[in-house]
Structure 1
Amino acid sequence: MQRLLNCLFVVVFSLPLAVNAQQASPQNTPVLELPDTADIRIIVDISGSMKANDPDNLRQPAVRLLARMLPEGASAGVWTFGQYVNMLVPHAEVTDGWRDQAVERSAQINSVALRTNLGEALRVASDRYLAGSEDLSNTDFILLTDGKVDISDSTSANEAEREEILGPLLEQLRTRGATIHTVALSEEADLALLETLAAETGGSYSLASSAEALTRAFLRALNTAVPQQQIPIEGDGFTVDDGVEEFTALIFRADEEPAATRELGLVSPDGEEATAGSTPGNMRWARETEYDLITVTDPAAGKWQINGELGEGSRVTVVSDLRMVVSPVPPTFTADEPVAIRVAFFEGEEKIDNADFLGVIDVRLTLTSDDGRSGTKTLSGDTPPEDGVYTDDIARLPDEGEYELDIVADGQTFSRSLNAVTRFVVPEGEGSTGAAAPVEPEPEAAPEPEPEPKTEPDPEPDSEPAVPEQVDADSGPIDISQVEEPAGDPVTDKEESGGLPLWIMATAGGLGVLVIAGAVFLIARRKKSGADEEAPMDEEPPLVVPEEQGVGEPEAEEDIPVAEPEPETDKEPEPEAEPEEEVAEDDIPIADVTVEEPEPESDDALPEDDDDEFGLEDFDLSEFDDLPDTDDEKGLLDEEDEPGDRKK
């Protein structure tokens, strides 16, 4: 009866769940088009606390880097704030003149202000007169601070201002379409406020662990706000195609390399080497403590070589009519809100869908975790897409955390790349239980099998279920169980997330279930009257067996699979007590047998779990030593196998 009712409930409730799943599966596919002109507004904290958190005033070269990296034709401005707000560089179109002015005035960035009037800085930088309208849908703010809201000596006044920022001011900026990217230069800053400003407006948040990390944090915010075309660096060089009008090489200093004695050279395809002290007429070379920035106009096509150490984050951006456009990558994503990857190529203002052009392009997507693990997938198939758009979705990953995303397109005569950073977030309660469970049963299971069989035969069934628990626990630390559990129980996940719409949609079905259940109960009662004789007959065997043999039967039945597979134990040795004691004396070899049995089971499970993990959106970011075994099935490529296998 209970099984019948359970089946009925499952069928009735699974129908609305399936409908909801089908309705929720279609995603808002991003439309690929050329981005609008960017509007970047940089806000820099100059409060007195910066003397300790930025003693070398690395904010100056960081601001100069942003000014030099901003694309031509964009709008930009720079503000500094303490107790008051000052427009350091007027908001205007980015030109060579604007860049020169920003570089010159960056020397005025200091640490002399008394307060931290963060809210007023946002109000001034978002004033409607700057753009002539209330619309900020194409405006990105890059905010740097190392402190908390501090407008007076009154704690209540500071708290009221903080609530004003997170309340009406944030709602106003969000309504106007603004995006705020926040950078904290100290853990003493109001991290919760900065994270909220970024999360509520769709921006990125970074905590620079030191002043030296400030430049990279600024660059990450700029790259999120204005993704720029890049040429991939391969080894110690990069290839420039005929369509490149200008390229800018940003070469970070290696950590172990002294800035004062650094030597760096750039060799053109003709073999001529340029340095910071010797540059040709079409090259501009800016040297800072943390980086070198080299801009070349009308570069020669071919292989350019870099002589010197390349630090992490080095890149080459290009200006070209041939552009690779990628859909925006969100700062964070979950399994319910996956990352939709869309890639297309544009020549001028027109999207390219020519099959002959697209047929020679290899498009690869690579994900790299913060601990260095990576996985690569080919987006281009045997035939190019008819609409010219390469698509893929990243729904979930084995572990939550930050991932670097690289999209590289190789067209034989040209190459383009894009770099972005995103974070995979697992909702609370999904990944926390899986990690703690396997730790506890492991130490408990080891001492249990030794003392239990020596004392009495009763604890033997307790030791036997401990063996499968060890198998489950062994699969936990591989992080495969954490992935399989949500994937294997879609019904429970959807029921929890479904909530109110599930009960509303299942109300009518529930009434029907009650009617069916009542009918089933009436039929069952009628059958009981005629089946009263059969019920005791079914109950007698379990009653007679324990009365005659007591506890011996369940012990002997469970001893068969665990201790000895011999059928002789089922007949005579079970009622005898002496052979049971002999079995207890031989517990040591029997325990060894039971330990050996789960080992092949766990070994068999491992490759299955690996296959499942490899199948997560065709990415495996846990162990990559086995990647060649799964390349054919899941489309993953090892670093050694990345060159165009598709073309072959």
Structure 2
Amino acid sequence: MGQYRERIVKTEFSLIFFLLMLSVLGCKGKPPEEVVKPPPVPEIEYLPVDYVFLLDNSGSIPRGEPRVFAREAIKAFVELSEINDKISLIAFDEDARLLVSRVIQSQSDKDFIKNAVEEGLRFDGQYTDISIAFLYLTENRQNFFRGTGYTPAVILISDGKLQPKPPRSVNNAYQQIINSLNNLSGIPFYTIGLGETAIYEDFLPNISGLVLLRDKIATPTSGHFYHIRSVDALIETYFNILHLTKGISEVKGKYMFWVDESTKRISALVLKKKPNRDICTTSDIVIKDPGKRKFAYPNIPANIRWVQGNYYDLITIDGPSLGKWQINLRNGRELEIFSILKRLINLRFKVEKSYWDNEKKIVLAWLYDERRKGLSDVPCEMTAKFDKKERFKESHHYISFKKAENDVYVAVLKSHNELKISPGDYVLQIMAKNEEKYFYRLTEPIEFN
């Protein structure tokens, strides 16, 4: 997560001792229902984020609508950012230049950034010199990242094929990237690899764009790599990054929102158009509240903000009432929607990146209430979908958590037949649910081995 991504609330020394004891006990400890009575778990505090976009301005993105959509995707990210977040945009081709850097305090700041995207990002450069962007970021680090109290995050978008302007060599440019990463330690990089051809081509022996973006940049910095075949997937990818950097759990379904008493806001982006494909129009979109009332633009209540766009509409519902909210299309077709809920009770977890073969594989989960600055006592059922990575999507294997005395939930990972888990890559996704209170939380898939 990076040292700036989290500020840990102080806990007793007993937590460290307890976790060490779990590793030592391994499978020879007491049964799972008796082994773990953990002390309060430290909370990860999600702070305002300093986002820096490094944007490949070369001709990697096809002309026409794909380039328009790429700009619209960045604008969507800007719209969904929060007060006191900071957004900086650096475009690069043969050189690097700053398009904008601004702290968001109001809607006018978001509009200013979106205008900079529209005017400054043309995708018409002849070269792809990622190293120039890294050097620019390193030399101006203090101008982009505010330090303590803020989370840094770099979002790099490129096909990854390193092409500096001659006479600069590819090897020289590559070494510059590696050196810059050493000077940018503690900052997670979220890399987005575009395309299906250039990203696989080696520009140095055994070094392709895929290897550079995933293995040399994202993984070592505790970031994340996303490979998308076309710009159609950009908005969804940006949403995933927002979820990671803001610590927001997923919503229930694509169009239904369970609103509990801690929910402060629903933000939903409804896609109306993709390059070469129309999906819906604004008049097709309908909101249904828990009282079965339906709303459509422009006849909406005062607490709903509806921003129309060429490619998407952004719907924001402040202070939604308790119950199930829905957004649908009149024509009955399935809509394409990406949503973020601002809630004051959030699902947190502790899963090790690796477990030893003979180690008792213990997972902790808890609900943190920002209002109490402590663990929530909301009653819920805590379960997790768990299986090997290659069969996780089709799996129906679930494990249950047991609630300890201090509101921390504990589970021991088991295979289908409850025998020893074989070595390999696994995925876990944790869910907390209380239907009576319309309470639902779902983590992103968590990978470990």
What range is the shorter-chain TM-score in?
A: 0.7 to 0.9
Q: What one-letter code is carried by the residue in structure 1 that aligns with 2:24?
A: Q
- 1:79 matched to which residue of 2? 90
Map of 1:41 onto structure 2: 52
Determine if contact 1:34/1:325 at 8 Å carries over to the other structure.
Answer: no
Q: Is the partner of 2:113 in helix, strand or coil?
A: helix
Q: Distance in 2 between matches of 1:287 and 1:339?
A: 47
1:35-73 Cα offsets, whole Å, 9 max, x none, are 333322222211123236974432112112211222333
2:140 corresponds to 1:140? no
1:228-377 to 2 correspondences below 5 Å? 228-233=248-253, 237-251=256-270, 258-260=278-280, 263-287=284-308, 291-308=312-329, 309-311=333-335, 314-320=337-343, 322-327=344-349, 333-336=353-356, 340-352=363-375, 357-358=377-378, 360-367=379-386, 372-375=393-396, 377=398
Q: Distance in 1 between matches of 2:423 and 2:108?
A: 47
2:398 aligned with 1:387, yes or no?
no
Instruction: Tell me, yes or no, if the aligned pair for 1:32 and 1:344 is still in contact at 8 Å.
Output: no
Match of 2:221 among 201, 204, 211: 201
Aligned to 1:213: 233
Matching of residues 13-92 of structure 1 within 5 Å = 22=24, 31-51=42-62, 55-92=66-103
CA contact (8 A) 1:251 1:315 kept: yes
The one-letter code matched in structure 1 to 2:129 is: N
CA distance 1:253–1:367, shift in 2 (3 Å): farther
Partner of 1:433: none
Deviation for aligned residue 1:173: 1.6
Instruction: Give the corresponding residue for 1:120.
Output: 132
Q: Does the aligned pair in 2 maintain the 1:181–1:205 contact within 8 Å?
A: yes
After superposition, the C-alpha distances for 1:115-160 in whole angstroms (9 at most, x for unaligned) are: 2231222333452322576779831111101242222223x62211
SS at 1:294's partner residue?
A: strand
| Deviation digits for residues 185-212 of structure 1 (CA, Å, limit 9, x no counterpart) | 1241311111120011111111101221
* Change beyond 3 A, Cα 1:207–1:316: closer
Contact between 1:37 and 1:74, CA under 8 Å: does it hold in 2? yes
Q: CA 1:192 to 1:408, structure 2 compared with 1: closer, same or farther past 3 Å?
A: same
SS of residue paired to 1:58: helix
Task: Write the distance in 2 (CA, Å) between the matches of 1:40 and 1:132.
Answer: 8
What's the CA shift string for 1:243-290, capped at 9, x where partnerless?
322211244569998325572211123443223444333222245566
Q: Distance in 2 between matches of 1:374 and 1:47?
A: 41
Whether the 8 Å contact between 1:265 and 1:306 is mirrored in structure 2 is yes
C-alpha distance in 1 between matches for 2:366 and 2:400:
9
Structure with higher strand content: 2
Q: Distance in 1 between matches of 2:240 and 2:69?
A: 16
Structure 1 counterpart of 2:190: 181
**What is the identity, as a one-letter code, of the residue corresponding to 2:367?**
A
Contact kept, 8 Å, 2:52 with 2:155, in 1: the verdict is yes
- Tell me, in whole angstroms, the C-alpha distance in 2 between the residues paired with 1:191 and 1:279: 46
Contact 2:250 2:444 survives alignment (8 Å): no
Quick one: which amino acid aligns to residue 157 of structure 1?
S
Residues 54 and 419 (structure 1), Cα distance of their counterparts in 2 relative to 1, 3 Å cut: farther
- Structure 1 length normalisation: TM-score? 0.52
Give a deviation string over 1:427-469, Cα, whole Å, max 9, x none: xxxxxxxxxxxxxxxxxxxxxxxxxxxxxxxxxxxxxxxxxxx
Rounded to whole Å, the distance in 2 between the matches of 1:249 and 1:328 is 29
SS at match of 2:173: helix
In 2, distance between residues paired with 1:328 and 1:120?
A: 38
Equivalent of 2:143, from 106, 130, 139? 130
Identical residues among aligned pairs (%)? 18
Q: Please name the residue that 1:419 is paired with.
A: 443
Q: Is the 2:365–2:410 Cα contact (8 Å) retained in structure 1?
A: yes
> For structure 1, which runs of at least 5 residues remain unmatched after alignment?
1-18, 426-648
Q: Aligned equivalents of 2:45 and 2:147: distance in 1?
A: 23
CA–CA separation in structure 2 for the residues paired with 1:402 and 1:210: 28
Please list the CA deviations of residues 196-254 of structure 1 after superposition, one character each: whole Å capped at 9, or x if unmatched.
200111111111012212222222233222222554238x5333234322211244569
SS at 1:299 equivalent: coil
Q: 1:208 to 1:395 in 2, by over 3 A?
A: farther
User: Could you tell me whether the CA contact under 8 Å between 1:151 and 1:157 is conserved in 2?
Assistant: yes
Structure 1 residue 385: deviation in Å?
Answer: 2.0
Taking the aligned partners of 1:402 and 1:287, their CA distance within structure 2 comes to 41
Give the C-alpha shift of residue 349 in structure 1.
4.5
* Within-5 A mapping of 1:479-494: none
SS of equivalent residue, structure 2 residue 306: strand
How many residues in Structure 1 have an aligned counterpart in Structure 2? 391
What TM-score do the two structures reach when normalised by structure 2?
Answer: 0.73
Taking a change above 3 Å as real, the CA distance of residues 186 and 350 of structure 1, as seen in their structure-2 partners, is: same
Alignment of 1:597-616 (within 5 A): none
Q: Provide the C-alpha distance between the structure 2 equivalents of 1:329 and 1:218, rounded to a whole number of angstroms.
A: 24
SS in 1 for 2:99: strand
Query: What amino acid sits opposite 1:351 in the alignment?
Result: G
Residues 362 and 411 of structure 1 are in contact (CA less than 8 Å); yes or no, is this contact kept in structure 2?
Answer: no
Contact in 1 for aligned 2:259/2:325 (Cα 8 Å): yes
**Larger radius of gyration between Structure 1 and Structure 2:** 1
Q: Which residue in 1 is equivalent to 2:204?
A: none
Q: Secondary structure at the match of 2:169?
A: helix
